[in-house]
Structure 1
Amino acid sequence: MVTASRVQLTVLRGRDDECRTIKGLLDGVTDGGGSLLVHGEPGSGRTALVGHAHRHVEGRATTVLAGTGLAEEAALPYAGLQRLLDPLLDHTAVLPREQRHLVRRALGGEDCPDARQLALSMGVLGLLAAAARDRPLLVTMDDVDLGDPQTARVLAFAARRLRRLPVVVLLTADAATTIDGIPAHRLRPLTERESTAVLTDRLRLRRHRRGDVAGTDRLPERPAPPVVAALAAIGGGNPQALGDLAGVLTPGQWRGEDPLPTAPPTDGALGRAYRARLDRLPPSTRRLLLLAALDEETGPGTPVRAAAEALTPAEAAGLIRVEPGGVTFHQPLARAMVAASAPLAERRAAHRLLADTLDPRTQRLRRAMHLAAAAEGTDPALAAELEQAAADGERDWSAASAALCRAADLSADPGQAAARLLSAARYAWTAGRPDQARLLLDRLRTAPVGVVDGRAGLLRGELELRCEPAADASATLLAAAGSVADADRAQALTGFVRAGEAVCFAGDQYRYAEVGHRAAALRRPNDPPALELMSCLVAGVAATLRGDHERGGPALRRAVVLGGRLTGPASTPTALACAAAAGLVVAVDGAAHRLAERAVALARDRGELSMLSRALELRAVAEYWLGRHETAAETSREGLRISRATGQTNGANVHLGMLAVLAAVRADRDTSLRWIREIGEAPTPGSRPHALAGWALAVLDLVDGRHDEAATRLASLARLGTGRGQVLVQVMATPYLVEAAAHLAHRPAATAALSVFDRWASSTASPLRRALSARCHALLAPRGSAEADREFQTALRLHPTEAGAFERARTELLFGRELRRSRRPRDARGHLHRARETFTLLGVGCWAEQATSELRASGESVGPPALPAARLLTGQQLRIAQLVAEGATNREIAARMFLSTRTIDHHLRNVFHRLGIRSRTELARAFVSVPGPGPASDR
């Protein structure tokens, strides 16, 4: 019977490809053998794969020869071959006389002349063939690169000549080793999900071995998610590192209550492997390697750069690469293991030496960190220096977080230590490391009561809003903001703004009234602009959500004005994002876009990754309203990448939803459904991502003529009058709801939604919103009536000419369809022609086809639009197309236009689609006579 512990030990996480390859070789060995070299870093699973191969042939009629390269025998020619082939010595009699003589000499400890190497290698191949005569043979040599080179050379010779033999040779070596003519698999680091599985396996194994222990010493069922993320980073995706770490964690560390180790244990299997590699280096090399490991910025003035030649043995060993700019470790884990393997006294001496080489003014934080690493016990003065150096740093939030963690350790006062840990958590979150922030917050659970409670709650609530199911985020934020209101109004107001975001994200807008009431109590005359801005935003949104646009509009417009005036320290990504959000609610799209763009640029410049996703979200919505759908999609794709890189699950789902909507309104069904599938089942019904996905699906229903389904989906986005659901998303989607409902006999939901939309649109100065309102009324008016005609004409008159070409074309299409169905085909054709041309220029093929169908139904004979390429493409697309026509590659174009190759690929696909061509050759022909766009259009 297989025990649970054995199952855990034999599962190889993240090595499915290699296991399949090995299985394929072994299962097909009777039809001809093969070979495989598995190479990777120490601890990456090379030996485990050898064990997997051995287990796979258990119970089969297969002979197994297994060997391991030993560094102690590297200077003994053929030592590894002797250990490997010792069981086959009786088979040497079948070899030709010369080969038999050479094989016996080599295995007997005598060398082989260079001129006889071929004969010796043929003898070993013959010996393997003789052993495989009766049943297949598996030959494995683990760490072949550590043993004697003669063995490696002979085995490689044999491994290249197994096609007609029932022999499989499996070799393993370090990451830098390659063997010509032998297929190789480079073992990659495990993903975070695979690392989670490894850690969970190891935890279960420990629980199985220990049994269930009552009390605080009991191991948890699963590791805490922040612990997993932190261990995955510490272990660098290395299976052995993860296993070693899991073997030494205490129950409190598994639960995230105690600090985690900074590196795998030096007495673990991986630590021993690295110590063995380091022991083979000269002492001077080890000392310099330690300095390089302890200081990542090995500039020209450091001891490492001054004596870089002494690092040649470490470079030859595959640990580092020495370049003019400094020393690079091939794996971050190697750096950590080199540092951890050194004795404590040597590490402290190295830190002191590095600190002495650094300028206390220009390299203050690095110097303080080295001094702190060399310190023992508590040191309040050094802790204060670390705190100040972190505050004065050049926005390296991760380094500042690490400095404040160490400052907390050096603090003598528990209150100061807790405050510094909280700042470290805030910096970690700012750097886009939510799991590290959570771990530090968990350490604060034992802090003195009242020291950091409220401020820790604000950060915890923000993490819930961005990275976790957001249902509880508003309660956390409201409680925390209330507790700090007397001490710090700015933080309290920020907390109320975040609580409002949480309420809207979850679809609980009826709770925004409480947010507005509590924020209003903090407002003071002559508040600084940033505080007044936040107060105006909360007050304006609260009024707007209850339908009081007379109060909401002025407050929101005031927030926009204040955002435009922010300068200096008050101009933060958070404040600018608040102003941009206000602009979107009050429909000043251009100003909202400028504010969001400033927030994005500032977040990038300051390295505030935690805010970048939100700023990009606001910019994408502004670009949607401005009619820049392709640009909005590009913004959302960037936001999605940032959200995923920083663990912001909710932000990622909002960007996915926005991408789905943008694809749907352009009738790109496959792309929209792909984004919706990526959202999955995680978002709570009623949340913003769930509503965006529903909007996208409804638009696709509308495109396909499923009007009842589309109207039902859109009506369900919010329950008007209750404040539940996504009221703001439904307002955005109301034009599509009305369009779907226009085909239905009963339309109370559309009428109610349009009433809400009308009150909002009439309170704004936005011509686009008023145009959409008029279009909606035209669609609900009796067919062929003067009212419908008047409302359509009003909509076309209000549509802005400088933006929103897509919505204007939609109005032209709907008006033309109305006129054609009212038996006025002649009046319809002009509108339909303009709609068709605009849709073609925008590259929206489905809508262009609808306009074409309506034109044909109106009696028009319609051919392909006679539009030159220069009119079909944007300026940037035109420039890219011309460079392709000139023969430039995508990489060359990216370099010339200062864009990424991915962006060039995206634009080129759109160029092909718009021009109806399939190859670069056709594109070159199309552009033979196209004039250049000129500087003005090269945008």
Structure 2
Amino acid sequence: MTGRTTTERAAAPSYRPGPRGERIAALLDRLRTEGGAHLVTGEPGGGRTAFLDFAARSHEAAGPVIRVRSDASRAHEPYAGLSALCRAVVRAGGAGAASRPTAWGDPPGTAPLPGADPRTTGEALLTALQPAAGSLLVCVDDAHLWDAPSRAALGHAAARLHAAAGAPDLVGPGAGGGRVGLLVGVAGHRPVDREFTGLPVLRLDPLAPADAAALLDEVTGVPVDPAVRDALVAEAEGNPALLLALARRLSAAQLRGERPLPRPVADAETLTAAFGGHLTGLHPDHHALLLTVAAATRASGGRETDAAAVLRAVARLGLRDPRPWPDTVDAADGRLRLRSALLGRALYAAAPPEERREVHRALARSLPAHDRLLALLHRSWATTAPDPGLAAALTATASDPAVDAPPDLRRTAHLRAAALSADSALRAHSHTRAAEQALLGGHTAEAVRLLDSVRDHPAPAAVRGRAELLRGTALLRDGPVDDARASFLLAARLLTPGDPARAARATLAAADAAWAAGDAAGCLRILGEEGEAPDPYVATDLPAGPSAPHRPGPLDDYRTGMRAVLEARFDQAAAPLRRVLAHSAHADEPEYLLRSAAAALLLGDVAAARRAGARALAVARTLGSAALEPRALEYLAYAELRAGRHALARTHAEQGLREARRTGQRNTAAHHQAVLALTASIEGAPEHGGDGETAEEHAAAALATARRHGLAQAGTLAQWAAARADLGRGRPREAADRLGLLVRPGPRRGHFAVWMLAVPCYVEAAALAGHPEDARAVVDDFALWAACGADPHAPAQLLRCRALLAAAPDTADELYRQALDRHEDNASDYERARTELLYGKWLRRRRRLREARERLGAALIGFERSGARPWARQAAAELRANGASADGRPTGELSRLTPQQLRIARQVAQGATNREVALSLSVSTRTVDYHLRNVFAALGVRSRVELARMVEQAEKSGAQL
């Protein structure tokens, strides 16, 4: 122990709903307005008590709350749990029937006679709980520790409440007129008791990294160093109890990063403090069995293991056959796992070292021949001294591609080889290989820590070069991209003498970093021919050394094609990039497939980009490479965007964002957030009852990382998305202001590969805002882009831009028609509908109403087909202004709101606060916030003043509210 630094708040941290906040709010709303019962479960230390506190606080405005926590010392006393609940009911006092004697005839707070029917006691409990009016919330924590008769009665009452949710009169005769909500908390490291199996279950997920970091900041009294925060968050695996225990272990200097963290970060004392209480009272045989399972799953990070091998090891240890398995072990299809991996970690850490080594020796002898790597690992854990022979065997087996093993297992093997090696160069080599597998497995922070250890010790140039290549890879995914570029260029210089193929990969990766940073000149310089001026990021104090022969391959073609693209020699770029595509037709390496997807996007061949991205994703999943999945999904999402398949792009980006967050790739996550912002700028705000985010929210998230890490490409995409969202809501002036900086020449112009894509939006916004002259200069540049063939939509968009800027009506008319003809060359409903909408507006303003109605109707259908809700509303509004209704409904602005949204809008317009609205409608303030955001988005207003004005105008016009 090195000192305690946490405040008193650490003992009871606040619950964080995380990404499921809307679902949890909806659940608590239902319990408040309809009653019912819900089971709450999760890992030990996973926040069940904090969640019940959160639920109780959220219910306080609606009615009384009764909290009961189980007493493990009374688990064998019949009806002890039920008595505790009855006493809590009496203490609540005045809650309608809750203060009456119980239905079994005894005074309140006493238990029924032993042997009573659970159904009778359950019905009596219902009667005792039922309030005369309003809403009562009952929270029972650790109900799995209740005695069996109490569990049976509570289970019966919960089942009745669940069946009668929304219909209080079904609870039973004599019930009051109020509603009862029941939350039952049970442990997640054992099966749910049969008394509760029919209830709906809310399983509390581990904290997301951002929520875990926020909790750490909440409970510590000093600023936490970002690297320390990341290390603690990773070690805690999203478990609040372990995170708090880790924070208590560290001194203030360690939290600030001024002193190194202890190794291991979570020692036996810390794990026991967090979870030891769940392991007390185990039978000795069960303890030995659980230790064996925990040791067997250690190599897989606490996941499953082979049941037959465990049984053979148990026999070698002289234990009896453990079947039937204890309830803390999940056995299925010949595999075993502990229901709580964290409990397994605690049990393993607390076991005496010799007992652990004995278990590992038994496991090593019990594994079949095809599990040689696992057997070697168990041998290594049974060894106490350096063993060069065993280290060499681990390295050779873990490096053999023919061995079927996931990256995490290979990483563990290389780490054990390092621990068993006495030679510092061999340790550096093993740590580098372990870092490589950590990156493949999605453990970015762990990889960087291992690479730091390589820098701290002497190592050959080849090992240092490989380590810098891996460091650059880690930084490109989660760090400043200029730092990644420097690492890649240093790696290329170190690797060139002995490993030119890997050096070429490092050079291309440095170009990727320059591309991500928006440095076109630097990217071109990196891709330059041999002998050109050195890049300023290269470490010039290293000897160049003779270059070994290097046979040209697909990466050389990619490099040549990229140079030609950057030099605007598109005709010379096509041939080498096509060769990259041809090579990938039979490739099974993810890097080549991702390069192929990038080459296809540069060529404008979105079908080939989708194929290459899909194959890269399939290969990544086959290899078990968690880190490559979000990158493959990124290329897939971009390809779908370019193809006009926005819903598919959103699906890929949502999945990619989850994987990027899970694997610690914030830069990749920013790109997925930018894609989601772009799709949301088309689809609009989430539908009533949804849990999505708006374009602005996604754009803000992408920009937050883009600004920290220098991601010019992701940042430009996000800003474009926010501007397009403004345009979709009919705010061309705001859109033009945002986009002007991105697309007009100057130092603040957006990323060189993205700003061209935003030009059509800017031209449209400038023209609709009444400043077409501002956009004329960029159209000529866009014409060059449209001519290169890299964007299938660009030719039609160029004609649309020229139509918007045309001074002569006949010219504009002809250009719009030509644009619609060019849209026939691709299948994007959305882009064609935008041209139809602009043409329809142009026709309506020239009183060509019949033609305008035809174009606007086609635009409405196109937007509806592509799910572009705000754009469809624009088309419908134009139709109404043209004298036609899109669907026969009233044409008032407020008709697009749902009944609940209309009620909220009316009260807000009258000056009510969100809290006052929530109280009057018996919903949460969070629900009002959510609906009000949707009202603003649906009506295109930005403030309560605008909303009040719109409601007032509707009332004056006689619209029905």
Q: With the length of structure 2 as denominator, give the TM-score of the two structures.
A: 0.67
Give the counterpart of 1:379 among 387, 395, 407: 387
Which of 566, 586, 591 is the aligned partner of 2:584? 566
Partner residue of 2:528?
517
- Report what 2:376 is aligned to: 368
> Which residue of 223, 237, 240 corresponds with 2:239?
237
Q: How does 1:86-485 map to 2 (within 5 A)?
A: 188=204, 191=207, 192-193=209-210, 195-196=212-213, 204=221, 224-233=228-237, 237=239, 239=241, 241-246=242-247, 255=257, 259-261=263-265, 264-265=268-269, 268-270=272-274, 272-273=276-277, 276-278=280-282, 281=285, 285=289, 297-299=304-306, 301-304=308-311, 310-311=321-322, 315=326, 318-360=327-369, 362-391=370-399, 392=401, 393-394=403-404, 396-448=406-458, 451=461, 452-470=463-481, 472-485=483-496
Q: 1:80 to 1:702 in 2, by over 3 A?
A: closer
Structure 1: how far apart are the matches of 2:555 and 2:53? 64
Matched, 1:677 2:722: no
Give how far 1:833 is off: 5.5
Mapping of 1:498-577 within 5 angstroms?
498-517=509-528, 527-544=551-568, 549=569, 552-555=570-573, 557-566=575-584, 571-577=588-594
**1:606-644 deviation line (CA, Å, top 9, x unaligned):** 233323223222222222222222222222222222222
Task: Give the superposition deviation at 1:358.
Answer: 2.3
Q: CA deviation at 1:150?
A: 9.8
Distance 1:197 1:771 in 2: 48
AA aligned opposite 2:311: V
What is the one-letter code of the residue matched to 1:639? Answer: G
Query: Structure 1 431/555 Cα, relative in aligned 2: closer, same or farther at 3 Å?
Result: same
- Structure 1 residue 484: deviation in Å? 3.1
SS at match of 1:725: coil
> Is residue 458–residue 495 contact of structure 1 (8 Å, CA) maintained in 2?
yes
**Equivalent-residue separation in structure 2 for 1:450 and 1:637 (angstroms):** 42
Q: CA deviation at 1:731?
A: 0.6
Indicate how the Cα distance of structure 1 residues 557 and 834 shifts in structure 2: closer, same or farther if over 3 A, else same. Answer: farther
Larger mean CA deviation between 432-441 and 414-423 belongs to 432-441
Instruction: Give the CA deviation at 1:645.
Output: 2.1
Matches within 5 A, 1:623-702: 623-666=640-683, 674-680=694-700, 682-684=704-706, 687-702=712-727
Alignment length (residue pairs): 779
2:816 is equivalent to residue 792 of structure 1:
yes
| 1:757 pairs with one of 766, 782, 803 | 782
Is residue 741 of structure 1 aligned with residue 743 of structure 2?
A: no
CA distance in 1, matches of 2:43, 2:732: 58
Structure 1 Cα separation of the partners of residues 213 and 722 of structure 2:
34
CA distance 1:4–1:853, change in 2 (3 Å) = closer
Contact kept in structure 2, 1:468 and 1:650, CA below 8 Å = yes
Task: Say which SS state the counterpart of residue 758 (structure 2) adopts.
Answer: helix
Match of residue 214 from structure 1 = none
Q: Deviations over 1:198-224 (max 9, x none)?
A: 6567765xx9xxxxxxxxxxx976761
Distance 1:41 1:811 in 2: 54
Q: Specify the code of the residue in structure 1 equivalent to 2:642.
A: W
CA contact 2:602–2:790 (8 Å) conserved in 1: no
Determine the C-alpha separation between the residues in 2 that align with 1:656 and 1:708. Answer: 25
Aligned-residue offset at 1:431: 1.5
Residues 392-427 of structure 1: CA distance to partner in whole angstroms, max 9, x if unpaired?
A: 333511111111111111122211211221121121
Residues 500 and 538 of structure 1 are in contact (CA less than 8 Å); yes or no, is this contact kept in structure 2?
Answer: no
Percent identity (aligned): 31
SS across alignment from 1:619:
helix
In the alignment, the residues of structure 1 paired with residue 38 and residue 793 of structure 2 have an alpha-carbon distance, to the nearest angstrom, of 64
Instruction: State whether structure 2 residue 710 is matched by structure 1 residue 710.
Output: no
SS at match of 1:609: coil
**Cross-structure match for 1:933:** none
Note if contact 1:474-1:498 (Cα within 8 Å) is conserved in structure 2: yes
1:348 partner amino acid: R
Note the alpha carbon deviations across 1:802-861, whole angstroms, 9 max, x for none: 523432343344345445545666766665565455445445465556556667877x86
Amino acid corresponding to residue 664 of structure 1 in structure 2: S
Which stretches in structure 1 are left out of the alignment for 5+ residues?
A: 18-34, 53-63, 84-98, 107-111, 126-139, 208-218, 866-912, 914-939
Kindly indicate whether the alpha-carbon contact (under 8 Å) linking 1:244 and 1:268 is maintained by their aligned counterparts in 2. no
Counterpart of 1:530 in structure 2: which amino acid?
P
Q: What is the CA distance between 1:339 and its match in structure 2?
A: 2.5
Please give the alpha-carbon distance, in whole angstroms, between the structure 1 residues aligned to 2:285 and 2:559. 64
Q: Larger RCO: Structure 1 or Structure 2 (Cα < 8 Å, ≥ 6 residues apart)?
A: 2
* Distance in 1 between residues matched to 2:322 and 2:143, nearest whole Å: 24
Give the drift of 1:249. 5.9
In structure 2, relative to structure 1, the CA distance for the partners of 1:352 and 1:781 (3 Å cut) is same
Change (3 A) 1:7 1:740: same
Partner amino acid, structure 1, of 2:809: G
Distance in 2 (CA, whole Å) between partners of 1:839 and 1:143 is 52
- The worse-fitting range, judged by mean Cα deviation, of 642-651 and 304-313 is 304-313
CA distance in structure 1 between the partners assigned to 2:565 and 2:616 by the alignment: 20
The answer to whether structure 1 residue 777 and structure 2 residue 802 are counterparts is yes
Sort the Cα spacing of 1:618 and 1:557 in 2 relative to 1 into closer, same or farther, 3 A.
farther
